[in-house]
Amino acid sequence: QFDVAAPDQVWTTDITYIPTREGWLYLAVVMDLYSRVIVGWAMDGRMTRELVMDALRMARFRRKPAPGLLHHSDRG
């Protein structure tokens, strides 16, 4: 469901990797589907559970969503 009526009702997440001279940089993002704004992100040299949790924690801290938020991830 991508037709969202208000902010902070549905978030989606993804991870991408970026080649650098020092190796891969992994970027995890959380996007609000209503505004299409990135509300949380985290970067690390390794793709770990903690990388994803850091991005989600940032989004939660910054936006303080009400109970009922739907968080969707394709789980890679």
Q: What is the pLDDT of residues 16-74, one digit of tens each?
A: 999 999 999 999 999 999 999 999 999 999 999 999 999 999 999 999 999 999 998 87
The answer to whether 7 touches 24, Cβ cutoff 8 Å, is no
Inform me whether the pLDDT recorded for 75 exceeds 90. no
What is the pLDDT confidence band of residue 3, given thresholds at 50, 70 and 90? confident
Residues 6+ apart with CB under 8 A from 21: none
pTM: 0.89
Of 60, 40, 62, 61, the closest CA to residue 51 belongs to: 40
Domain positions in the chain are 10-73
